[in-house]
Amino acid sequence: MPREFSRTKRVEAQIQRELAQLIQFELKDPRIGLVTVSGVEVSKDLAYAKVYVTALGDEQHSVDEMLAALNHAAGFLRRELGKHLTTRVTPQLNFIYDESVERGANLSALIDAALAPKDK
């Protein structure tokens, strides 16, 4: 009988928590700003991790700079993450911008506009 919460899911949750703390308190790069780690996907062998992040700010230029800064700091974050994980392998980090929050807000605005009473 398979477990309800697999090992990779537990590792993903721990990596998400630890990275959120590390980004908030350890990184001093001004290009990063306010970043939220919205999700983590880890490969089955725990060698690679896709880290999905969102940021406060609407400009695409600042998002590109933020991703560049995070991917530049990935080595430092991986080393610090390795100190907190109890796994044999610390995954290689790849930061990706998560557009789902932005897309959800746009869809919500469209639904609100469609349901709003029309003035004649």
In a domain, 1, yes or no: no
Q: What is the pLDDT of residues 98-118, one digit of tens each?
A: 888 778 888 888 888 888 877
In a domain, 2, yes or no: no
Q: What is the per-residue pLDDT for 75?
A: 95
In a domain, 61, yes or no: yes
Q: Which residue positions in the chain have pLDDT lower than 70?
A: 1-5, 57-61, 119-120
CA dihedral for 80, 81, 83, 84, sign (positive or negative): positive
In a domain, 35, yes or no: yes
CA–CA separation, 34 vs 55, rounded Å? 6
Which tokens sit at 53? Answer: 């992040």
The domain spanning residue 14 has which CATH number? 3.30.300.20
In a domain, 110, yes or no: yes
CA–CA separation, 20 vs 5, rounded Å? 21
Q: What is the per-residue pLDDT for 101?
A: 77
Q: How many domains does the chain have?
A: 1
Q: What is the per-residue pLDDT for 5?
A: 67
In a domain, 16, yes or no: yes
> How many Cα neighbours within 13 Å face the side chain of 88?
1
Q: What is the per-residue pLDDT for 4?
A: 65
In a domain, 120, yes or no: no
Q: What is the per-residue pLDDT for 113?
A: 85
Domain that holds residue 29: 7-115
In a domain, 28, yes or no: yes
Give the neighbor-by-neighbor strand order of the sheet with 48-55: 35-42, 48-55, 92-97
- Nearest alpha carbon to residue 101 among 46, 56, 50: 56
